[in-house]
A = this chain, B = another copy of it.
Amino acid sequence: MLTERQLFILRVLIDDYIKHVEPVGSRTISKREDITYSPATIRNELADLEDLGFLEKTHTSSGRIPSEKGYRFYVDHLLPSLSMKEREIGHSELLFTEKVQEAEALFDQSAKILSDLTNYTSVVLGPNALDMKLKHMQIIPISSQVAVAIFVTNTGHVENRQIVLPDTIEPSELEKLVNILNERLAGVRLIELNTRIQKELSAVFKKHLKDYQNMGVFLDQLLLWSKKEKLFYGGKTNMLSQPEFRDLDKVRPLLDFLETRDLMEKLVSSTEKGLTIRIGTENEHEAMKNCSVINASYTMHGKHIGTISLIGPTRMEYQKVISLLDSLSKEMTNRLNDFSN
């Protein structure tokens, strides 16, 4: 177990490193007003903290920097209380340009605001449209063979896709099909349409549609969803101004990572409500090993529907950033729920 003094020194050191991004030596720490011990004493403590794995040295005679374990401990146990959170809240409200009308604009602006305020990179993972409920669907023919299928959700989101019309299908049959779907499936989540159809509607189809046999492939085409979360970025190039990435070979993988949809989705998805922090290798990807990722979820009617995330160097200003992310995600939640009142 760490002594009070060790805790204190560890916190001071990490605070200092986060601020100045340079290895911190015993002298620097002992110079602080609230420290009464000499450099030599501090050195002993630092050596112990290093043995315990909380600190590292960049070379044999350098000052110490926090290790990943150090950051983890700092985040879990040493963060100054977030009571000053209130002061920040005012900010984020002001920064939205007037009334944000649509959800997409809200996500986009939130990402921009967050990256501007932190100088890190931010990402908003939009809600999965497929989790929304069907309000209305429609099939609009473009030519004799091609049509556009449109699904409007309860949130006002529109999914659409082009489909190829089978030669065999008659317009009147198509209309019947659409009517059945609208009558029976309103309120069902898009992602569940398939199974609902298979479970409940085959009987109805058989009864009302002539050529039910041939309809199978067509329905599959109609309801072939692909993942549809959207990512909104802010400050993509902010990483370039972080001192630890002032080296092309180090930023390159990072920027590449940011551009890779799959990886980003995985990084930023979180099923948990609230706030999660992943430090360095906890992100489980080489390119992110020197980064921390903070995810905050925003909700709708109390349900987690997406996240707003911040990606920065492992030494990021956790304190500031956490309170910011916290209030921003709440602000997003508020505004989102205002839309649908």
- What residues make up the interface of A, taking CB atoms closer than 8 Å to B? 101-102, 135-136, 138, 140, 142-143, 146, 148, 150, 152, 154-156, 158, 160-162, 236-237, 240-241, 246-248, 251-252, 255-256, 259, 340
Contact = CB atoms under 8 A, between A and B. Distances in A.
B237 A248 contact: no
Given A135-B142, A148-B156, A236 B259 contact: yes
> How many subunits of this chain does the assembly comprise?
2
Contacts of A102: 161-162
B135 A152 contact: no
Given A150-B150, A152-B148, A252 B236 contact: no
A240 B248 contact: yes
Contacts of A240: 248, 251-252, 255
Given A142-B154, A150-B152, A255-B255, 12 more contacts: A101-B162, A135-B142, A136-B140, A140-B152, A142-B155, A142-B156, A148-B156, A150-B150, A156-B162, A240-B252, A241-B252, A248-B251
A146 B158 CA distance: 14
B150 A142 contact: no
A165 to B, nearest CB: 12
A138 B155 CA distance: 17
Contacts of A152: 140, 142, 148, 150
A224 to B, nearest CB: 11
Closest CB pairs A-B (n = 7): A158-B160, A237-B255, A142-B156, A156-B162, A136-B140, A140-B152, A240-B252
Nearest to A154: B142
A297 B192 CA distance: 42
Nearest to A246: B248
Nearest to A252: B240
A156 B150 CA distance: 11
B148 A158 contact: yes
A256 B237 CA distance: 7
Contact of A252 (B136, B143, B237, B256): B237
A102 B160 CA distance: 12
12 contacts: A136-B140, A142-B152, A142-B154, A142-B155, A148-B152, A150-B152, A156-B162, A158-B158, A236-B255, A240-B252, A247-B248, A248-B248
A121 B138 CA distance: 39
B154 A158 contact: no
Contacts of A160: 158, 160
Centre residue among A155, A158, A161 by max chain B CB count within 10 A: A158
Contacts of A142: 135, 152, 154-156
